Structure 1
Amino acid sequence: MPNRVDLEMSVEPAQNEFQTAEYLSKKCERLERQLVREKAIRLEAEDIAEHGLRDLFLSRERLELLNRVSSFANDCEEPRDALQFAINEICEAAEWPVGHALIRKGPVGDARLEGTDIWAAQDQDLSFPFMEASRTLVAWPCASTPGRLFLETKPTWVTDIHAQSGFTRSSAAMRSGLRSSISVPVIMGHELVGALEFYQTDTVEPKPEFLELLLQIGIQIGRVFKRRKHADILRENAATDSLTGLPNRLAFEKEVR
């Protein structure tokens, strides 16, 4: 029959084994939690790095787009050519499927934006109903785009054009599958001389940095309008008598040729 010492010795290893197993289990749990935390930290760091690289890439792309439009505008004498170039470049770089340009007509008090045939469209057949409605558009100063640009000379982003009150091209836009829009003022000094508008097939949320880029592009194109205006004034002065304001000899000779 075992004595008391033998009994105690026989129980002791079992307790140690239990304590060791419990200790190892807790240690494993701590290691697992640590691995989870380290994985979360690593994923967060990778996400930050990825976003940083993406933002850097987008910033570089935006800068290159602005440089291309600015360079073209510096050498351009015809506003319509500058508008067409900008429309093409922005649609391609930003992947907006439809772009259109409008030009201001009329003096102060009778000013309006009129549609043009200056277009870019990924799918011209699909966009045709909207292109036709926009080509004949006359937009007076109002609360809806693009007339709103007369009131606020800053880019306007509309997430859902069909929810916009007063948007007269809604049915044509719906047939062409268009949903979101951006309207961009073309500014000569403080004067609105034209507009760029872009349309997307999805509901797209505003991006402030993209709007700022488009504003700068509108200002660059406005410089072409300014040069054209000065050139027209010089030609008019060259053909007009400074005292009477009547056509001079140069204008007469030009007419009889």
Structure 2
Amino acid sequence: MPDPVNLLRAQYAVARSLAESGSLAEAAPSILREVCGALGWDVGVLWRVDPVDRVLRFVDFWSCAGLKSGDFESECRTRTFEPGLGLPGRVWKEGKPSWIPDVSRDANFPRAPFAQEPGLKAAFAFPVRLREQILGVLEFFRRDESAPDDDLLSAMEAAGAQIGQYDVRRRAEGELAEANARLAQQNVALEDANRRLADLAVTDALTGISNHRAFRQRLDAFVSEAARGRSFALVMVDVDHFKRVNDIHGHPAGDQVLRGVAETLRDGIRKTDFAARYGGEEFAVLLADVEEEQAAEISEILRKRVGGLASPFGRVTASFGVAMSRIGRNSAEALLAAADGALLKAKKRGRNRVERAAPPKVKPAISLRKRGKMSKRRPAAKPRSRARRRR
């Protein structure tokens, strides 16, 4: 009969091993070693229930130093137990601890031939459980015959319940962590999909640059900035003789030309600027923080780059209309009208050129002095009555 102190040592060792481990498989070597050491047993084995195949499968094995347990360990590693078969199967089926005084004389111990070399005799086992559910079995062996010890079995049965609670909790935590990881991955995928959808909503499918919707949003933002004193230019760009390309070479050729122009405009502006396909063969460019001369120079550079495009369908050129944000032209509609007017002027003057919108006409303010003079004028004479005019 083990000393009660050793029983407490064994139970404490089980609790400590569980506390220091992240899973039952991780805690198993320490549990087997500590229980054997505290209670004076030579071999410990852990089995886990496979709920799919309905068998007990090997988890871990420990034996004291110097014990020739190689064949017995190999047999444990390769064997499974059905309910009722062998010591582990008996404990699983009955759901309670079991004791064998001498395994060599037990009719239901199929590993007896392999226990002879290390000289294993007595054995006991107890279930790892959560209430009525059997999760696994722990079994221990020693080289002496021993009569059943109810105190030891009772203490180890309590330890089995503790191990079972720990195992279920850790597995639940692991499953929760995996579920959270999958959810996080799904959230990342969803966010990525939403970003792609958002990009598609503001991207022109043919050219890959921003579309008309994105342009109007950005133009409104530029206009708001201009109201606070920030200057910018709107440049409207139209591909010259584009209908001729489509009519002669086909729409795929026209699409290729549009993609080339779009790429040229996108790559020819700064990060603070913005280029979009306005519609058809027309594009729009917003140039941030520029004055009129600079906007015209940038437009001229872009015009030359478009003219330098390599195309099997003949030379590609484009006309540019530039409009500045100014007093009297402080709305998106006014800017678009001004830029369109400049673009039309470029078309009328031969195409493949840059034209600027004329400054808007602003009514001069009436001075206070002039207002005062106007107020001092005599009122206009009243018209004569019809009766008097008849005279």
TM-score (norm 2): 0.45
Match of 2:75 in 1: 133
Q: Aligned partners of 2:93 and 2:6: how far apart in 1? A: 31
Match of 1:47 in 2: none
Match of 2:134 in 1: 192
SS of corresponding position for 2:147: coil
Match of 2:25 in 1: 80
Match of 1:244 in 2: none
**Where in structure 2 are the equivalents of 1:5-154 lying within 5 Å?**
58-107=3-52, 110-124=53-67, 126-154=68-96
How many residue pairs align between the two structures?
A: 190
Identity %: 27
Match of 1:218 in 2: 160
Q: Aligned partners of 2:14 and 2:92: how far apart in 1? A: 23
Aligned-pair CA distance for 1:240: 5.3
Matched-pair contact (CA < 8 Å) for 1:239–1:249: no
SS of corresponding position for 1:145: helix
Q: Aligned partners of 2:13 and 2:32: how far apart in 1? A: 12
Q: Aligned partners of 2:86 and 2:75: how far apart in 1? A: 16
Matched-pair contact (CA < 8 Å) for 1:185–1:196: yes
Structure scoring higher RCO (CA < 8 A, sep ≥ 6) equals: 1
Cα distance change, pair 237–251 in 1 and its aligned pair in 2 (3 A): farther
Counterpart AA for 1:153: G
SS of corresponding position for 2:37: helix
Matched-pair contact (CA < 8 Å) for 2:120–2:142: yes
1:43-71 superposed Cα distances (whole Å, 9 cap, x missing partner): xxxxxxxxxxxx9x922221232123223
Match of 2:186 in 1: 248
Aligned-pair CA distance for 1:216: 1.4
SS of corresponding position for 2:87: coil
SS of corresponding position for 2:94: coil
Matched-pair contact (CA < 8 Å) for 1:105–1:112: yes
List gaps (5 residues or longer) in structure 2: 192-391
Match of 2:120 in 1: 178
- Select the structure of larger CA radius of gyration: 2
Q: CA RMSD in A?
A: 2.5
Cα distance change, pair 143–131 in 1 and its aligned pair in 2 (3 A): closer
Matched-pair contact (CA < 8 Å) for 2:6–2:39: no
Q: Which has the higher helix share?
A: 1
TM-score (norm 1): 0.66
Counterpart AA for 1:174: Q
Matched-pair contact (CA < 8 Å) for 1:77–1:227: no
Aligned-pair CA distance for 1:143: 4.9
